[in-house]
Amino acid sequence: MELIYFQLLAAILFCIGIYGVLARKSAVLILMSIELMLNAVNINLIGYAAFSSLGAAHKNLGQVLVIFIITIAAAELALAMAIILRLYRNKNNVNVDELDILKG
């Protein structure tokens, strides 16, 4: 195994996520694409943690960071799904290119 496999996989997954965020219409799918990008970052961090040549005191910082990313991602997803449900209830529509109620 080499570090570059983890890096390549993370890069490909991150770019798939970028495409999803930019190209999809539905807010739910944009949210899923953001989850893909967060997963790519987690894969990268796990790769760096596994191949790190640092001592034991610094070696598990990568995994600690992944734990925090998972926590924040869960909080973000709960809030975003709540907003999407509310939007659906009020507007019957979650396509982001048709939502312009904030436009002045």
Partner 1 sequence: MSVFFFAIAAFIVIAGGIGVVAARNIVYAALSLLAVMVGTAGIFLIGLAEFLALVQLLIYGGAVVIVILFALMLTRIQDFEFLSANKHWPLALIVSISFLVLFLISILVNKRTITEMSGVDISELGLTLFADWAIPFELASLVLLIALIGAVVVVRRDNEENR
Q: Which of residues 28-87 bind partner 1 (CB under 8 A)?
A: 28-29, 31-33, 35-36, 39, 42-43, 46-47, 49-53, 56, 59-61, 63-64, 66-68, 70-79, 81-86
Is the four-CA dihedral 24, 27, 32, 35 of positive or negative sign?
A: positive
End-to-end CA, the chain: 54
Question: Of the two residues 13 and 104, which places its CB atom closer to partner 1 in the complex?
Answer: 13
Q: Give least dist CB 86 to partner 1, A.
A: 5
- Report if residue 7 touches partner 1, rule: CB under 8 A: yes
As a residue count, the chain comes to 104
C-alpha–C-alpha distance, residues 3 and 22, integer Å: 29
- Report if residue 25 touches partner 1, rule: CB under 8 A: yes
Residue 89 gets the label, from left (phi > 0), alpha (psi -120 to 50) or beta, of: alpha
Q: Which residue from 22, 55, 100, 104 is in contact with partner 1, where contact means CB under 8 A?
A: 22
Q: Which residue from 14, 41, 91, 100 is in contact with partner 1, where contact means CB under 8 A?
A: 14
